[in-house]
Chain A
């Protein structure tokens, strides 16, 4: 929001660094960052779910899986070093995603102006998921912190014992409020993915008659897969399939 005098001069010669700097602070560039980090987070969420489904095999299997993550890199690298590299990458991905969302939200609120429509907006295309992205995002972010406190750091879980993945998980989900919280968070995540996994193609410029049919199907399938997969573990504990 500046005056007309400050607008872009198309004859101005720019170096590539200036172009890239402009790109990553432009709205479209930030949406690119959100889409790229979103893909990273989708891959993580999928891998996390697939790994955790090992609880249905056996207690030993999931505990060994946790140990295998700490042992990544085998004898080539120090223990947990590769895991920490992955964790730092994941934290950075989260940080960029949230930072870009915060900056864009601020810009959008400013662009909207002070006076709003009085008549109730008749939404023709925007859906519940797309309009609640900010809130489902906040719920998921807060849930991630709780989830870490519950099953990684352990201070939110009175029966926590380090390295006992299976036992910790069962102890946690057997408490009804915790189970409900996990399911609500998964619902928020599913809504977030439903819009995000469709929207990212748009931000990355992958749209058109060749893509539009499967983009929506992909988003629905991904959201449903994550929701069903993750909730199956919670329900598994609640209904004593896992105990």
Chain B
């Protein structure tokens, strides 16, 4: 199939960017979106032009590196997949596809379609540690965990940190990301000791960078792991509960 791409090109963080149009011919219907971009880049290389920069790594939907805005939808038109898992058969011959980087004040463009997502790392860092025993591996059944808690924690832990939730949000809020990270630790017994400190620290770090939640639900539909916005409500509840915990008795403050 033949396609027309409108791609955001930007030479560097400070450079002014603009859209460039590329015609791609003979794209396989079985190619992934990233493979299609590879094909464009090979042609650009052959012409001696600068290839389109985009983030990618595992190309099987588990690393969270890839992610672009495709025709106004994060990760493209297919629900529950990352850009690397999107096949070109989702498009038709002759389509015009607009490809843009994630847009948010906290995610400045580094080059072309690559954005700096390090504010996510700041949120993770502020979460501190969990009291998981280190050293030799503990017996698998040493700490009983209810099945419901395991399932919910696993649903939250599926977050790959790609940033599609922020990209989809009209307020550039990172509530779904932060809620998923908070829930996957706060639901489990190993995460209880630091629960209240962690919740407050991660929420407040998030708010330094990102907007607030107005409950549109766009993040949930953009998420390649389809993480539920119920986790955001759960984070809201935990953030409030944390206010009523005696801070001198939470986590390591009481040591």
Instruction: Tell me the A residues contacting B by CB distance below 8 Å.
Output: 1-2, 4, 6-11, 13-16, 19-20, 22-23, 26-32, 104, 107-108, 110-127, 130-131, 133, 195, 198-199, 201-209, 212
Contacts and interface: CB of A to CB of B under 8 A. Distances in A.
B236 A122 contact: no
A112 B171 contact: yes
Contacts of A125: 216-218, 220-221
28 contacts: A1-B209, A7-B204, A7-B208, A8-B201, A9-B201, A10-B128, A10-B198, A16-B247, A19-B200, A19-B243, A26-B239, A28-B213, A31-B212, A31-B213, A31-B236, A107-B211, A108-B172, A113-B172, A119-B98, A122-B71, A125-B216, A130-B215, A202-B233, A205-B238, A206-B233, A206-B237, A207-B233, A209-B230
A205 B236 contact: yes
Contacts of B247: 13-16, 19
A29 B236 CA distance: 8
A243 to B, nearest CB: 43
Interface in B192-244: 197-198, 200-201, 203-205, 207-218, 220-222, 229-230, 232-240, 242-243
B126 A126 contact: no
- Select the residue from A1, A10, A16 with max chain B CB neighbours within 10 A: A10
B126 A7 contact: yes
Interface stretch (B24-32, B48-56, B101-109, B139-147): B101-109
Contact of A27 (B107, B126, B128, B213): B213
B218 A126 contact: yes
Given A7-B208, A113-B103, A131-B170, A207 B203 contact: no
Q: How large is the interface on B (under 10, 10 to 19, 20 to 34, 35 or more residues)?
A: 35 or more
Contact of B19 (A1, A114, A118): A118
A112 B205 contact: no
Contacts of B170: 108, 112, 126, 131
In the A-B complex, list the 3 residue pairs whose CB atoms are closest, starting with the nearest.
Answer: A205-B237, A111-B211, A207-B233
A201 B233 contact: yes
Given A32-B236, A117-B103, A199 B215 contact: yes
B173 interface: yes
Contacts of A13: 247-248, 253
A8 B126 contact: yes
B232 A124 contact: no
A111 to B, nearest CB: 3
Nearest to A125: B217
Contacts, number: 189
A207 B100 contact: no
Contact of A119 (B69, B212, B221): B69
A207 B205 contact: no
Most buried by B among A31, A117, A195: A117
A202 B232 contact: yes
Between A29, A32, A198, A205, the greatest number of chain B beta carbons within 10 A of the residue's beta carbon is seen for: A205
A113 B234 CA distance: 28
Contacts of B239: 23, 26, 28-29
Interface in B154-190: 170-173
Nearest to B236: A205
Contacts of B217: 125-126, 130
B197 A130 contact: no
A203 B215 CA distance: 8
Nearest to B107: A113
A116 B104 CA distance: 8
A203 to B, nearest CB: 6
Contacts of B109: 115
A1 B208 contact: yes
B233 A32 contact: no
B73 interface: yes
Contact of B240 (A4, A6, A23, A113): A23
A77 to B, nearest CB: 35
Contacts of B208: 1-2, 6-7
Nearest to B128: A10
B122, B210, B243, most chain A CB atoms within 10 A: B243
A224 to B, nearest CB: 20
A1 B105 contact: yes
Contact of A28 (B98, B236, B248, B253): B236
B105 A111 contact: yes
Given A10-B197, A198-B215, A203-B236, A208 B205 contact: no
